[in-house]
Amino acid sequence: MTALEGIRVLDLSRLAPGPYCSMLLGDLGADVLLVEAPPQYLRDGRANNPPADDDASRRRRAHNALGRNKRSIVINLREDRGRDLFYQLCKDADVVLEGFRPGVVERLGVDYDTIAKINDRIVYCSLSGYGQTGPYREVVGHDINYISIGGALGFIGRPGQKPAIPANVIADFAGGGLMAAFSITTALLARGRTGKGQFVDCAMSDGVLYLLASAASGVLGGGPAPQPGAGQLNGAAPHYDVYECADGKYLSLGSLEPHFWAALCEVVGREDFKDLEFDLGRHPEIKAHFEQTFRAKTRDEWFDQLVSVDMCVAPVYALDEALDDPHNRSREMVVEVEADGIGTVRQIGIGPKLSDTPGRVRTVAPAQGQHTDAVLDGIGKDTAAIAELREAGVVA
């Protein structure tokens, strides 16, 4: 048994935050059905999971973690009969997830108010950049813009340098997809008490600020705004920083507590530094000594040595190194998945380890529309009716 077994999700989303959200739900057992648009209605003319059955396409799908544990149907929601099919699917669904710009689902006739009249137990999540209200609701954007508005990008980097762009992890995946999955499961818990679903308005810009709750507390309490590389946790402290080693690779230190700081001073041969942890005027001297010291050995040599003396330290990995790290492998953060026609492929594993209802990767990503016939059969459409719907361009 899995934690979300029996929960049915209709996923209308397209870009990374939405598919990541539904991947999380699917990993924990939800039955996720991608409701995809016909390719001609996508701006770039491509589907999320193109239906081509050549070897290269199958391999791309097999390695696409964001599409795993999902089924796919293609419905033309611009057609009345297409919307009627979607309404039928909503009758037995628990969750609808969409990631369009505000107003799109209303124009398509698949908005929360419409669906709630069909199924008042539905949890309907709209995941967007700036949310369904506010002066920026219509403004387009990507992760870099949401972390800018949310205040995160402004203090990531080094003093005197332009902000360092941390890839699209903070807004798209953490403040967006992860926050949406958390919100959906919370709304499902609430439904268990009230018997009714509800609308969930998830804005990635909100999610970024929510992630900054601790930093924002200091500012709202009258303190200064964090600056790039100026705080104890973003590069100013010599004992909470990264250092280049003899092989050109980097080591990260996090020796904040006094006993870790004392141990670090002993390792680098400067016990006289022990009383200077908070002496900001001496930090440049301390950092210079650390820089010189850590260039004497390779990254992995330092890691092995410092771990042995109970130090807060870790190698700074490239992603391929992280995927092969023995700890990450022992935690099953890389798993093997069987893919029809391909064989075994490797994918990222399940993050949360539930003792009684663990998540798992059951299937690789589907081809677009792979389950159209089976889904329609499940709502009472016979072979002739499905063929007619396909001929009319209602499904594909």
Total residue count of the chain as it appears in this document: 396
In this structure, are residues 303 and 314 in contact, taking their beta carbons and an 8 Å threshold?
Answer: yes
Comparing CA positions, the residue from 70, 5, 80, 84 lying closest to residue 36 is 70
Residue 256 gets the label, from left (phi > 0), alpha (psi -120 to 50) or beta, of alpha
Residues identified as active-site: 142, 172
| Dist CA 231 CA 315 (whole Å) | 22
Per DSSP, 39 falls in state G
Residue type, 362: R
| Dist CA 307 CA 382 (whole Å) | 64
Quote the tokens at residue 144.
């870099």
H-only helix segments in 44-93? 55-62, 80-91
H-only helix segments in 72-203? 80-91, 104-108, 112-118, 143-149, 179-194
